[in-house]
Amino acid sequence: MKKHVTIYEIAKKANTSTATVSRVLSNSDYPVSPELRTKIQKVAKELNYIPNMLGRQLKTNNSMTIGVIIPSITNPFYSSIVLGIEEVARKRGYHVLLCNSHRSPKLEESYLNELVQKQVKGLIISSISQNNKLLLQLGKNGLNFVALDQSVDGLTSSQIHFDYKKAGYLATSYLIAKGHRDIAFVSSPLSRPSRQKVYEGFQEALREHEIDMEENWVQISSSEEEHSNENFEFKNGKLLTSKLLEQDKLPTAIFACNDMTAFGVMKELTEKAIKIPDEISVIGFDNIEFGNIVTPSLTTINQPDHEMGRLACNLLLDQLNGEAAESVDMILQPKIIERNSVAVLKN
Amino acid sequence: MKKHVTIYEIAKKANTSTATVSRVLSNSDYPVSPELRTKIQKVAKELNYIPNMLGRQLKTNNSMTIGVIIPSITNPFYSSIVLGIEEVARKRGYHVLLCNSHRSPKLEESYLNELVQKQVKGLIISSISQNNKLLLQLGKNGLNFVALDQSVDGLTSSQIHFDYKKAGYLATSYLIAKGHRDIAFVSSPLSRPSRQKVYEGFQEALREHEIDMEENWVQISSSEEEHSNENFEFKNGKLLTSKLLEQDKLPTAIFACNDMTAFGVMKELTEKAIKIPDEISVIGFDNIEFGNIVTPSLTTINQPDHEMGRLACNLLLDQLNGEAAESVDMILQPKIIERNSVAVLKN
DNA sequence: CTGTTAGCGCATTCAA
DNA sequence: TTGAATGCGCTAACAG
């Protein structure tokens, strides 16, 4: 690395002071005479000056950087959120430090510490631990953050929620409205509160329509299997479906806890030569892009990932600027995306 | 934000100097008496000290941060690369500043500038412009970077390549070996050199087997359409396939320039009730996860994305530490992933 | 309008 | 082994 050009050298070469150089080069609105201004700019260009933000950041105590901690960028749901976050961060002059927690609480915690040390101005987090002591403490110490998809109890911090229970209810009601009464539920572990809520919505819809839940049709993997690998959701959907198909009586529709799981369900059904939706209907949850790509295209619940990212980031930055209330709870509403994986049942 | 605890306050409370405090708290190997050391650590804990990395970074001129510029995290190929990068960055104590260029040269350029200003120690970039003046200049000024998937001419910088031409050749030869002679090529614009290479490999394989290329079966979209949106590759594959199907004579196999495009091809074929692979075979390129999910599962060329990310990051960090040659060119080799989208043709 | 000066928080000479 | 002093590059009082 060559030595860096600093404002000091510019000042010297332009016969002025570092203060004035700083004023013009940092786009301050402080008055500087036009001649001096252009001269400084000219010299800066000649010297190929690149401002060192570390200096400014240390002085102004403003890193213009936010941290994002999510389970894995490999999951399309999160990559879409991150894209939304980055989009508004960029527009508002911030940069994004990305951290994948890989669903590991220890990793999440160490990232959390490192980000704070790096002086991020704020944090958007989809935490893996529901009761994160460290997060709570950092929050009390003044760290601004917004939480995605979870309740951080005992703290006034902004949160972006999605109405999971209503979503589960909505998906199930949709199936019922299409004439289905024999409905299975296939899910990865209910370790996250969000999934638990979806399941509650499922149960409520059945109850409301006086449908008895068939225990054998509720396939939820045990949590030990969760950490296996990236492809977990898909494989899990496939596996649970094969178990489901061992039953004597089969459901007419399957509600999968997310789209990746739904793809696993569809794969298994297709391999067993069961027609979708003619023999068994499938409904997913998330509305990731691939729902359109798969055949038949997947009917699902829209979870506005990109929008969630945008909202979260705007909320966070508003908060930093004191333009928003300290603690905002946004609850996004579910919506059915009708495609081709659910059949209308004739009685 | 509360006021931060600094080493100064710790020094005061521990009856010592900032120098000593710094020495123990920054894990320096500078000798400090055990008593003082434990005392300082105790006080630091009491005061809930959080080191301010901006101070250290400014002093040591080492941000421990690398920048990553890729087209879009939304593309599974890139999200996998980024995951690989972040994985080794973390292990080696670095953080990742993520930038999505959205295939916009202007955006890419402004990110480039901002990253340099933020003093990133290195950069991994999959650039959209093949001849990036700014990148060249920054390289000359001492910025360390490794380029993915492209040649940055006229500069000694490390690059991770994939043997695209051989890959194109391999895929085509595979189809030929399975008895196909009527092979179509469906691609997004050949604006990137990588795609151009794939096409050359395709042509070479045909030539070698004395197969005349049918012009009508080469469907390559014009570049103006490229920037439309996230879903471009998929839609493009679908659209070009519909054009392809208008021909009098149809091919027995389609080679798509990447998996997303291949999914579009498959979708269109399925919608037109053309059986894959019985009537038309499809081969993709990338080996993204969803190739397993789609039905039939997609035969494709493996491009080791996660591995590329890991390699790129290790290379970059080795370079920063002077542990690697200035300029390394790695060329990764293609491999066929056999699945179920290609039929064996009987003569 | 311009320049002088004093730090931001930290690591590192240099002397003791 | 310790501490005083300096400065990384920049911005912000303050005084002119």
Q: What percent of chain B has pLDDT over 70?
A: 94
What is the average per-residue pLDDT within B31-42? Answer: 94
CB atoms near residue A179 (< 10 Å) = 14
Q: What residues in A contact B82, CB-CB < 8 Å?
A: 73, 98
Q: Which of A118-132, B125-139, B157-171, B173-187 has the highest mean pLDDT?
A: B173-187
Per the structure, the residue whose CA is closest to nucleotide D11 at C1' is A59
User: Which nucleotide's C1' sits nearest to the alpha carbon of A11?
Assistant: C3
Residue A1 pLDDT class (50, 70, 90 cuts): very low
Q: Is the pLDDT of residue B141 over 90?
A: no
- List the single residue in A116, A141, A267 with the smallest CB-CB distance to B2: A141
Task: For B161-181, write each residue's pLDDT tens digit.
Answer: 899 999 999 999 999 999 999
State the average pLDDT over residues B121-128.
89
Q: Domain spans of chain B? A: 7-51, 63-162+305-334, 164-302
In the stretch 77-116 of chain A, residues with CB closer than 8 A to chain B read: 79-80, 82-83, 86, 95-100, 114, 116
Lowest mean pLDDT among A139-148, A207-216, B106-115, B201-210: A139-148
Average pLDDT across chain B, whole number: 91
Of B95, B142, B290, the CB nearest to A97: B95
Q: What share of chain A has pLDDT > 70, as a percent?
A: 94
pLDDT of residue B230: 64
pLDDT at A312: 95
- Taking the model in full, what pTM does it have? 0.89
Whether A340 sits with its Cβ under 7 A from any strand D atom: the answer reads: no
pLDDT reported for residue B2: 55
In this chain, the answer to whether the domains covering B7-51 and B164-302 adopt an identical fold is no
Mean pLDDT confidence for A90-95: 96
Query: Residue A192: which pLDDT band, with cuts at 50, 70 and 90?
Result: confident
Query: Is residue A112 pLDDT above 70, yes or no?
Result: yes
* Angular region, A180: left φ>0, alpha ψ -120 to 50, beta rest: beta
Percent of chain A with pLDDT over 90: 74
The pLDDT confidence band at residue A227, using thresholds 50, 70 and 90, is low
How far apart are the C-alpha atoms of B335 and B130, rounded to whole Å?
A: 26
pLDDT value of position B1: 45
Q: Which CATH superfamily is domain A7-51 in?
A: lambda repressor-like DNA-binding domains (1.10.260.40)
Instruction: Provide the CATH number for the domain formed by B63-162+305-334 in this structure.
Output: 3.40.50.2300
Q: Is the pLDDT of residue A2 over 70?
A: no
Give the separation between CA A225 and CA A217, rounded to whole angstroms: 20
At residue A309, does pLDDT exceed 70?
A: yes
| pLDDT band at residue B142 under the 50/70/90 scheme | confident
Cβ contact A96:A70 at 8 Å: no
Kindly state the greatest CA–CA separation across chain A. Answer: 90
Q: Which residues of A touch B58 (CB under 8 A)?
A: 52, 54-55, 58
* CATH code of the domain made up of B164-302: 3.40.50.2300
The pLDDT value recorded for residue A323 is 82
Please give the pLDDT value at position A42. 94
Q: Tell me whether A60 touches chain B (CB under 8 Å).
A: no
Give the residue nearest to nucleotide D5 (CA to C1'): B19
Q: Is the pLDDT of residue B3 over 80?
A: no
- Tell the residue number behind the tokens 């109890």, with chain if given: A153
Chain A residues closer than 8 Å to B295 by CB: 266-267, 270, 294-295
The answer on pLDDT for B285 being more than 70 is yes
- pLDDT category at A8 given cuts 50, 70, 90 is very high
Report the SS3 class of residue B245: coil
Q: What is the dihedral of CA A233, A234, A235, A240, to 10 degrees?
A: 80
B94 CA → D12 C1’, Å: 32
What integer pLDDT is reported at residue B343 of this predicted model? 97
